[in-house]
């Protein structure tokens, strides 16, 4: 970027500056308070909208010279006119508003800016300056070269869109999760050496054959117990049956002994019943009203027979007498229909009770006889059953059952102990395997986090591309005969063959280092613009080296514009043709000053 004219009015200490920059290099000098820094800040404001000395836009009016109503900066550049103005009311008019500015521009306008950045900021800036790309394919390839797990790599790559730092933090978080998992598995604090080959306390090894043998022993004990219980149950059942039979036998004998008496009573009761049932029938017939054809015929036949007998007629009345006899057997003597009420009714209930009593007695006798017969049969069966189980046999069977149960309990306990030991051994193996997997995950994620950290792949990529920057710095050191400046993969700035850190340099060494870094950035970015302030920290030889270097850059067309500011007593007497000198006093410089 070439600047051909600078016009500044009422901006801080620059009241009236109007400079034609005919030469590529311009020296702007003056005493303290002459307005040099104001000119520098005005140029930065016009090119980058950097308010510099105020942090907020509302404070922009403070940048206006005290007695003025507005401030303005106008630059004529190879890209056109650039202008900015600030009113006392706080309105800012910026011709570059909305225009995307080169990222490197602030670093060529302020030589110390690069050194002030953190290593992370430098890395990010140089990535952009060098046009470096950290595409997924390139990072994937480099992670593989670092030995990172392929599957884990794919989970982290999408985070690269947010930058290496986000991806590295994710990998680090995964490593911490894996450490936490290892602690949960082992119950111990994670340590890299401890975790390598970690195993839980040893557990006795139990083979499947031992488990099978003990299971078979338990099965045999259970079978022996079942047999012993079966034998004991049979003896106890036999003993109980015998006891119950003995208890029943007494009652059965008593019932069986009454059989003959029951038979005698049954026969008497049956005889009495046989006697009384016909009586009841006759009384029922006599007591019942004689109504009906049979009774009417009997009475009429009896009347006819009586008349024949009375008449003395010789007739065969055998059939009639036989029929009347049968009638009387069934119904009693022939009577009129009303004769039964007074004579037979009282006897009827008496006869009924007697017959019912004899019938009940017969039923009861028959039942008692059946029970006596059953008791006799049961007694005979009991007498045929074997003797009771011997007490010694029962005691022996009880002991065998108790011993078999104890053997089963012992076998079951032994099997449980073996199973628990076998399970503990298996769990120990599984725990060791899971701990090993967690440890492997810790290593894999840690390796990836390291690879994605600034000193890893980002540093490698940047180191591969730092060549042009360091080559330019080397060329500047040779041209100026100053100490060589370098930027390492760790983004540290070092100087000289001993690689002294920037922080240990003197003020003049830092100035020369900043100047060479700013020029390298101007060269690589293509801006070819350089603003160097306070060059007066250099001694005379250093100043001579500086202008000789800038002159050579201008002669080689590698520098469009260089603005050098410094506090001097007067302008130098001799300068190269590529350098124009301008004196500032009380905020005035250029044509206005010459006119005054």
Burial 75-108 (b: 16+ CB within 10 A, else e): bbbeeeebbbbbeeeeebebebeeeeebebbbbb
Q: Among 224-233, 239-248, 372-381, which is the least confidently predicted range?
A: 239-248
What's the pLDDT tens digit per position in 301-323? Answer: 888 888 888 887 878 888 888 88
41-83 tens-digit pLDDT? 999 999 998 888 888 889 899 999 988 999 999 999 998 999 9
Among the listed ranges 151-160, 219-228, 284-293, which one has the minimum average pLDDT value? 284-293
Question: For the residues 530-552, what does the mean pLDDT come to?
Answer: 95
3-state secondary structure of 563: strand
Q: What is the mean pLDDT of residues 489-509?
A: 93
pLDDT in tens, 423-434: 878 878 888 899
Please tell me the predicted confidence (pLDDT) of residue 53: 86
- Taking only the tens place, the pLDDT of each residue in 451-473 is 888 778 877 777 777 889 999 99
The confidence band for 388, taking pLDDT boundaries of 50, 70 and 90, is: low
Let me know: does 283 contact 333? Beta carbons within 8 Å.
no
Predicted local distance difference test score (pLDDT) of residue 343:
61
Q: What is d(CA 476, CA 556) in angstroms, rounded to the nearest whole number?
A: 13
Higher pLDDT among residues 94 and 286, named by residue: 94
Q: What is the mean pLDDT of residues 177-184?
A: 92
pLDDT for res 6: 95
Mean pLDDT for the stretch of residues 324-345: 67
Average pLDDT, the chain: 87
Q: H-helix or E-strand containing 364?
A: helix 345-384
Q: Which residues pair with 27 in a beta bridge?
A: 564, 581
**C-alpha dist (Å) from residue 523 to 226, 339, 384, 508, 560:** 101, 167, 131, 23, 10
Averaged pLDDT, 85-95: 92
Mean pLDDT within 333-343? 57
Least confident of 119-133, 268-282, 384-398, 567-581: 384-398
Q: Is the pLDDT of residue 137 over 70?
A: yes
Tokens read off for 224: 């022996």
- State which of 134-138, 262-266, 316-320, 329-333 shows the largest mean pLDDT: 262-266
**What is the model's pLDDT at position 334?**
73
Tell which wins on pLDDT, 141 or 591: 141
Instruction: Give the model's pLDDT for residue 596.
Output: 43
Mean per-residue pLDDT for 487-514?
Answer: 93
CA distance 356 to 363: 11
pLDDT for res 591: 57
Give the mean pLDDT of 372-380.
81
The stretch 519-531 carries a mean pLDDT of 95
CATH superfamily of domain region 3-102+527-595: P-loop containing nucleotide triphosphate hydrolases (3.40.50.300)
Q: How far apart are CA 377 and CA 256, in angstroms?
A: 9
- Give the pLDDT of residue 564: 96
Least confident of 1-5, 394-398, 419-423, 528-532: 419-423
- What H or E segment, with its residue span, contains residue 9? strand 3-11
pLDDT reported for residue 109: 94
Flag whether pLDDT at 339 surpasses 60: no
- Does residue 582 register a pLDDT over 50? yes
Q: How far, in Å, CA of 258 to CA of 357, rounded?
A: 22
Is the pLDDT score of 93 beyond 50?
yes
Specify the range with the lowest mean pLDDT, choosing from 123-127, 303-307, 322-326, 342-346.
Answer: 342-346
Residue (of 466, 490, 456) closest to 165 by Cα position: 456
pLDDT band at 298 (very low <50, low <70, confident <90, very high): confident
pLDDT tens digits for 141-162?
888 888 888 888 888 888 877 7
Q: What is the pLDDT of residue 465?
A: 72
Residue-range domain boundaries for the chain: 3-102+527-595
Matching residue, tokens 């030889």:
541
% of the chain at pLDDT higher than 70? 93
Query: How many distinct helices (H) and strands (E) make up the chain?
Result: 20, 13
Q: Which of 187, 203, 207 is nearest to 195 (CA)?
A: 187
Give the gyration radius of the chain's Cα atoms: 68
User: How sure is the predictor about 418, in pLDDT bands with cuts at 50, 70 and 90?
Assistant: confident
What kind and span of H or E run contains 493? strand 493-495
pLDDT of residue 344: 64
């Amino acid at each position: 970027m070439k600047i051909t004219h600078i016009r500044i009015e009422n901006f801080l200490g620059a009241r009236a500056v109007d400079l034609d920059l005919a030469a590529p290099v311009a020296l702007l000098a003056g005493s303290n308070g002459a307005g040099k820094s104001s000119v520098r800040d005005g140029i930065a404001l016009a090119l980058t909208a950097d308010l510099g000395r105020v942090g907020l836009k509302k404070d922009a009016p403070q940048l206006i010279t005290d007695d003025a109503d507005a401030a303005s900066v106008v630059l004529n550049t190879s890209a056109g006119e650039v202008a900015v103005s600030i009113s006392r009311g706080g309105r800012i008019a910026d011709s570059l508003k909305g225009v995307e500015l080169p990222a490197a521009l602030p670093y060529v306008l302020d030589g110390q800016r690069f050194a002030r950045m953190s290593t992370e900021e430098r890395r990010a800036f140089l990535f952009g300056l060098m046009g470096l790309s950290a595409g997924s394919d390139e990072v994937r390839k480099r992670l593989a070269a670092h030995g990172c797990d392929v599957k884990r790599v794919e989970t982290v790559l999408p985070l690269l869109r947010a930058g290496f730092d986000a991806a590295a933090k994710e990998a680090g978080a995964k490593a911490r999760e894996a450490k936490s998992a290892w602690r949960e598995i082992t119950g111990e604090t994670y340590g890299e050496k401890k975790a390598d080959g970690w195993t839980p306390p040893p557990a006795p090894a139990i083979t499947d054959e031992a488990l099978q043998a003990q299971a078979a022993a338990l099965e045999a004990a259970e079978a022996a117990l079942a047999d012993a219980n079966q034998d004991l149950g049979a003896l106890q059942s036999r003993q109980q049956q015998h006891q119950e039979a003995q208890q029943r036998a007494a009652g059965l004998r008593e019932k069986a002994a009454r059989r003959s008496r029951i038979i005698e009573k049954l026969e008497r009761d049956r005889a009495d019943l046989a006697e009384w049932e016909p009586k009841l029938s006759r009384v029922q017939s006599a007591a019942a009203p004689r109504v009906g054809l049979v009774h009417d015929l009997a009475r009429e036949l009896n009347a006819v027979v009586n008349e024949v007998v009375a008449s003395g007629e010789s007739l065969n009345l055998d059939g009639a007498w036989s029929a009347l006899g049968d009638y009387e057997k069934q119904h009693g003597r022939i009577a009129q229909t009303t004769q039964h009420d007074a004579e037979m009714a009282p006897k009827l209930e008496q006869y009924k009770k007697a017959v019912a009593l004899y019938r009940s007695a017969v039923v009861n006798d028959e039942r008692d006889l059946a029970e006596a017969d059953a008791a006799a049969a049961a007694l005979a069966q009991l007498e045929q059953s074997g003797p009771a189980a011997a007490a010694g046999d029962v005691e022996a069977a009880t002991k065998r059952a108790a011993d078999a149960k104890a053997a089963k309990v012992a076998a079951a306990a032994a099997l449980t102990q073996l199973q628990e030991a076998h399970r503990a051994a298996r769990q120990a193996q599984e725990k060791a395997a899971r701990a090993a997997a967690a440890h492997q995950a810790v290593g894999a994620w840690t390796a990836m986090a390291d690879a994605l950290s600034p000193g890893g792949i980002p540093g490698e990529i940047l180191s591969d591309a730092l060549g042009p920057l360091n080559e330019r710095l080397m060329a500047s050191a040779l041209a100026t005969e100053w100490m060589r400046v370098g930027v390492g993969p760790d983004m540290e700035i070092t100087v000289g063959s001993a690689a002294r850190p920037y922080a240990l340099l003197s003020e003049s060494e830092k100035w020369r280092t900043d100047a060479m870094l700013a020029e390298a950035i101007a060269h690589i970015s293509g801006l070819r613009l350089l603003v160097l302030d306070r060059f007066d920290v250099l001694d005379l030889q250093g100043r001579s080296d500086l202008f000789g270097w800038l002159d050579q850059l201008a002669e080689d067309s590698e520098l469009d514009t260089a603005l050098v500011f410094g506090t001097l007593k007067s302008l130098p007497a001799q300068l190269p043709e590529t350098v124009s000198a301008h004196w500032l006093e009380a905020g005035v410089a250029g044509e206005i000053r010459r006119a005054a």
